[in-house]
Structure 1
Amino acid sequence: MKPMLPSLTFELPIHSDWYYEVKYDGFRAILDWNTQGMELTSRNGKPLLPQFPEIKEFLLTYKEEFKPFLPLRLDGELVFLENPYKGIFSTIQVRGRLKSGKKISEQASKSPCHLMVFDLLIISGNPLYSFNFHKRKKELLKLFQKIGLGTEVEPHEHQLLQLVEAYSDFNDLWEKVVLYDGEGIVAKYKNSPWEEGKRSTQWLKYKNWKYVSCFVTSYDKTNGYFYLGVYNNKKIHPIGQVLFGFKPEEKQALQQTIKQNLQREDSQFIYVLPAICLEVKYLELYENQLREPHFDRFRFDLEPSECTYERFIFQQKNLPENLDITHPDKPLWEKLNIKKADYILYLREASPYILPFLKNRLLTVIRYPHGMFGEAFYQKNCPDYAPEYVQTRNIEGIDYIVCNDLKTLIWLGNQLAIEFHVPFQTINSIGPSEIVFDLDPPSKDAFHLAIKAALLIKEVLDQLQLIGFIKTSGNKGLQIYLPLPENTYSYDDTRLFTGFIAEYLISKDPDSFTIERLKKNRGNRLYVDYVQHGEGKTIVAPYSMRGNERAGVATPLFWEEVDEKLESVSFNLENVLHRIRKSGDPFHHYFQTKQIQPFTPVLEFLKQKKG
C-alpha cells in the first residue's frame, strides 16, 4: 500500500493542536504481520526484509507477546541510527544495495538497522485509519508497553523496533534535532486521519537545512540545472548542482546573466568563470554531492574567493550563525596535526554529550591562546568583550560564564578554551548534584593504581546497589560519578560517604592508597582526595579536552572496559567521536539515574555508624 506523506514547508510549523516527531533519514517502511507471516514494504512497494533480516529476527524473539495483536500493521522509517535524533542516510543506502547474502548477514549482525515506528494502522485485525493521529499514537504507546518494549530511542541497544515520540512543544524537539544534527521534524495535526497515498497538508515536514556559500560554474541547457563550486587551494572544487527553490524571475535573471557572461559553450553546457555567488540549502553531502539542494538567496555581498571549501566544511557542520571562527588554520599541538578548525569541529560534534554537564554550572575554563606552544591561564570571570548571548551568573564578585547552548560553547572554543571545569552542583542546587571520586595516581606509570581503586569502589557500589559511572580524567587518572537527586543532600552528607570509601580503600590495600595530604609523605601511593569533593571545588567535565601533549579527552567508559588492559592514553580528540558513534555514550542514562539512586539508606547507615 502507498503510505501517507507529509508536505514540505519552509515556514515554522508551530500551531495549536499539532504534535512534532523526529524526521529520520532512511527508507519509509510499512510492517504487516499476520498469522501467515511478516512483510516489510518500502514506499515503492519493494520487500525490505531480504535486505534487512535483523528486523524479522528481532520481532520473532517477541513472537508470543505480539500474537494477541495480530494481524498488525505499523508505519515507520527504516534507519541506521547515529544518535536518538539522526539516521545516517549513506549507511542505509549501502545496505539497500547489497546483493550478497553473506554480506547482508554480516552487516545485519555487525551494524543492525532500526525500524522507527510512528503510527499504528491495524491492531488485532482492527483498522485504525479513521482514528485521529493523537488516538493512534496513544494506542501505539500502549502496544509497546504491553509487549514489554522500551519507549525511549536507544541507538546502541538490541531493541530494533523503536517508538518515535510525539512532542507537544516544537522548540523543545527542534533544539535536540539541531544539536544532534538530525534531518528535521514532521509536524502532525492532532485530529488527522491516516490517508493512503496522500501527500497531506495535515502532516508537514520541516527540515534542518545546512547552508553553503558557493558560486555558479555552469548551466545545463538540457535540464536547467546550475552547477556549483567552491575554491579549494585556489582550484575549483565541484559540490553538486541546484534546480529547485528559485522564483521564476530569479531563475530567469540567473540564466540571462550566465548567457551574457559565458566563457565557453558546448551542446549541453554554458560555462562561466566564478562570479555569481549563491547561498544554497541542502540536507547533507552524499557521495560528494549536495542532497536535496534548494536555492536560498543570491550573495551579492560575497566575492567568489570567499566561497572556500574550508568555509563549506564549517557551514556543513551547522555551526551557529553570525559566529566567525578566527584563524582556523592555527596549529594547536606540537606533535599532532590538530588545527583550531579541528578543535572547533570536535566541540560541535561532541556538544550533545558535553552540554548537559555544563548546563547551569559556574564554568571555569583553561585557555590556551597559543595552543600547546605557549602559556595557559585559568579564566573564571567572563571577559568584557563577550557577546550578549553569553549568559553569566555573578557569585561573590566573579562573573562566571554559564554555558547552556551550542553558540556559547563554540564561542569559548574560538577563544581556545580547551579545558572545561565545573562544580559539583548547578546554580539552582542547594547541596551537591553528584558525588565524584577523583582517583589521581602519583604518575602516569602508576595508572594501574587508579584501575585497582576503581574496581574496589565498584565492588562496594554493587553491594550497596548504588549506580556509578566512570570516566578517564584525560590525564593520568580515573573519576567515578554517583548522580544524586537535586536539593536532597548536603556536602557533609556526601563527605560521610567519600570518607567511608577512602577508609575502605586504605584498609584493603594500605600500600597502594593514602589520604596523606603532604605529597612528600605519599610515596608511590594513590592519594584518595575525598576532601576535594566540596562546595566551590571543580572537576573536569565529561568529553572536555585536556591541555596535554596527546590531546587527551576526559572520556566516559563502560565499566567492562575498566581492567588491567585499560590505558590512560587511549582516548583523544582523534578517536573519541568515532567511539561514541560505534558504541554509544556510556553516560547516556546519567541524568535519569538521579531519581532512582538509592543513596538515602546508605547515608542513614553511615550516620548511625558515626553516632
Structure 2
Amino acid sequence: MALEKYNEKRDFNKTKEPKGVKKSSKDKLRFVVQKHAASRLHYDFRLEIDGVLVSWAVPKGPSSNPSDKRLAVQTEDHPMDYIDFEGTIPKGEYGGGTVMVWDIGTYHAEGSTTLAEDKRVLRKQLKEGSIKVTLEGKKLKGSWHIVRMKGENRQWLLMKAKDDYANQKEFEGNSVLSGLDFKGIEKTDAVWGETKRPGDDKTVSKRTSSKNKSTAKEDTSTVGFTASDLEDAVKLTKFPYDWRPQLATLADEAFDNEEWLFETKFDGYRALAQIKENDVQLISRNGISFNAKYPAIVEALKTINKDMILDGEVVAEDAKGKSNFQWLQHLEDFPDKGKLKFYVFDILYFAGFDLRQLELLDRKKILKALLPKHKSIIYSDHVIGNGIKAFEDIKKKNGEGIIAKKATSKYHDGKRTKDWLKIKTDQQQEMVIGGFTDPKGSRKGLGALLCGYYKNGDFHYSGKVGTGFTEAILDDLRKKLAKIERKTAPFIKPPKMSGIYWVKPELVAQIKFSEFTETGSMRHPVYLGLRDDKKASEVTIEEPKIEAETIANKSKSGSKPSKKSTTKKGSDKVEFTNLDKLFWPDLKITKGDVINYYDAVADYIMPYLKDRPQSLRRTPDGIKSEGFFQKDVAGKVPKWIKTRKIKSDSKEESIEYLLCQDKDTLLFMANWGCIELNPWSSRVGSLNNPDYIIFDIDPKDAPMKNVIATALKVKEILDQLKVPAYIKTSGGNGLHVFIPVKPKYTYNQTRNFSHLVSQMVHRDLPKITSLERMPAKRKGKVYLDFLQNGKGKTMASIYSLRPREGATISVPLDWDEVNNKLDLKKFNLKTITKRLEEKGDLWKDFFSDAVDLKEVLKGMG
C-alpha cells in the first residue's frame, strides 16, 4: 500500500499525527506496537519495510504463547515518523482515540545478518504472505511470525515462535516512552512524535492542549527531545525515593575544554525535588525534608503534572540575581530582601524511566523540554567549552564560582565524582563550631565562633570567626550554642585565650575566607550561615583534587562532544567511550589505559578465555565503586559477539553467557568496564569437564611467609606425584597454583583431587594452614580453598587486571621467584610490559602439559 491512502484519510489541520513521507532507517530496521483506544481497543503492529511502516490491527494484541494465533488485519501503510507517535487523535477524525507506544525497538529477518539482506528478504516475504522476524523490543523479543490466511488478502495471523522468550508472563501495560497509561496520556494531552524543524534533529515535542495553541506553537519550535533519547533509559516499577545528589570535586582553577560544559555555582541549599502524582518532596543531599522550610518552592513544583526527580539548588537572590546564603539561612529575618528560587540543572527520573545512565547533555535536553516556565522554578543553563570566560563572567558579578561537568557523563547518585568539578571564585568551606567567646564592647550574644574540622578522626582548630553577624543572628546562635555547651575543649589542640565557652561539635557553619595561614587558620573569615544539610563528622578540609591543566584543551580536535568516542585501538567493531574516565584516580590510570593493556596482551590471555563462558565483573566507574557481576547478556551485546545459553543449576531457565572468542570481544569487555576477567575452568563442548585444577592459596590474615611456605609445599607434593605445577599471583594478597588436566574428568573428580592434595599439605603444615571454610575457625592461617573447583565458579584469569589499589595483575611466576622476597604489589599495570619483555609467557606450555588424572592416581596407589 502507498502512503497516499494514509494521507487521504487524515486532516492534518485537526490531528497531530505526522504527515506521510517515505524514509528508511540507516542502521537497523525498526518496529512499533501501538495500543490504540479507538472505537474498539486494539493493537497496531507495524514493521518497517521499504521505507514505510507496514501495519496490521491486532484486536487481542500479541501473545507470547506459541499456541495462540492472533488475528492481524492489514491496514494502510504508515510513515516512519509514526513510529513513536503517542497522543490523542480528536474524536470524529479517522482513528479517533488515544494512541500509546506499547512497545518499540529494532528487528531483523530470521537468519539474516545484514541490513541489505533484511530488506531483500522482507520484501519477498511480504509479497509471499509469510513473514518471519526476530524482534528486539522493550517487551517483545525473539522470533515472531506473521502469516497471511489462505484465500484472504488483508487477514493475517500473528504468532510467537517457540524460543526462550515464549510463554512469558503478562506484558506490562503502560507506554514504553512515557510510562503513562491511557488516562495519563489523555490528562497531559502530550504528543510524542517526530517532527522535523530547522536546525533540529527529529524531535519528540511537548504540545499543550488546544486551549493554548499559541504557547504550543512556541514550545514546539524551541524545545524538544527525541524518542531515541530515552532508548538507554531503564524502566522502573517503583518510584526511587532513596536517590541522593551527585557531588562535585574541587578543582584548582577554570579551564577550557570542548568536552565539558560549565554552569553557575549557586550559593544555596542543594535539593532533589521528588514529584509523584502531584505530591512534592523537597529533600536535602542527606535526605532531610525542606518542605516546611521552603513551602513556596514546594507549591511552585506542584505545577508540574508529570512524575519526575529534579536536581537543583534552592537560593535566595537579590535584585541583581546574586544568591545570598545568609538570606536563605535566615529567611524569616529577610522576608523582603531576597527572592526564593529553585534552579534546576539535572533530571534523574521521568514518568517511570531512570535517566541516570543517559549522558548529561541528553538529560539536560529532556529537562529543558519538560520544565515549565515559572518565576520560581528556573532551568540552569550552561555553556560548552569556554570555562575560563564563564568563570571570569561569574567573578565580575561577585558570584560564588562555576561547576564544570563532563558532557558525556552519567549520573552517579550519592557519590562525589571527578566528572563534576567545582571552581570557586573565593575560599569557602564548611566548618564545625567547637566553641565561642564572650562579646566585647556593645556586641551582644557572642564575640567570635571557634571553628574546626575533622582529619583522621581528630577535631582540629581552624581559627575564630568574628564578622558576618547581625544582632538577630548573634542572638539566635547564642541560644543554639547554649543548648550544647560542654566543660572540656573538643579540639585535639585547643586555642589558648580567655572567655571561652566550649560546645559539642555539632553545628556546621558556612565560612568565607581569603586563605589558610601557615599555622592552618583561616585568614579574614566571614560567617555566612549554618548548614543543616551536612553532618559535622563529614566536615574535612576541602583541597583541590583536580589540576585544571590536566583537563584543559584535552580535546585537540575542537569539536563538540559526541555520544561516542570512537577509535580503532585494535578493533574495527567496538565503539570505545569515555576513554579519559579515571579508573584509578590516585594513579591517573584511565579506562583507555585498561583497553590499551588488554589490546597489548591479547595474544597472551586469549588461550585462557576462548570458548569459556565469562562471568562478567563490571566496574564501569573504576575502583571507587564496588561494581557488579553479570552473567546473562541476552539482548545486551552486539550480534557479532558469540554467546552460549547454559541452563542454570538452580533455575529452569537458561543463562546466556558471553564467550570471549577474539580480541574484538576482549576489548568490548574492557570498554564495558570489565577490569577483571573471570572465565570458567571448562570450555564449550566439554562444559562439565574442566581442563585445569585450581589451588587457591588464600592468606586472609596470615603472614606472607606462610603463604610462600604453603605454595612451596604444594609444589613439593605435586613434584612427588610427577604433576606439573604452574603458579601465578592472584592479583590480590594470595597465590594460585594450577594443574593442567585433560578435559575428561568431572568437576567433582577434579575437586576431590584438589582436596586430597590439600589434605596432604595440611598434614605437613598443620600450624599454618587450614581447610576450614568458616573464617572465624581459621584466623591467621592460610586457607587451602579446594572448593574453587566447581562448575560455574570463577576466579581472576591469568594476566587479568584486578580492580584493586595499585592496579595489580594476576601474573605468572617462575618458581624460583617464590621466596620470602616476593612482593605481590610490584606486579601491576606499570610493570607488566617490562616483565613480559624480560620473561615472556611463563605459561606458554600450560595446555600441552595436561595430565591424565587416572594415571596420576594410579601412581599414588
| Class of the TM-score when normalised by the shorter of the 2 chains | 0.3 to 0.5
- Calculate the TM-score normalised by the size of structure 1: 0.46
Instruction: Give the greater-gyration-radius structure (CA).
Output: 2
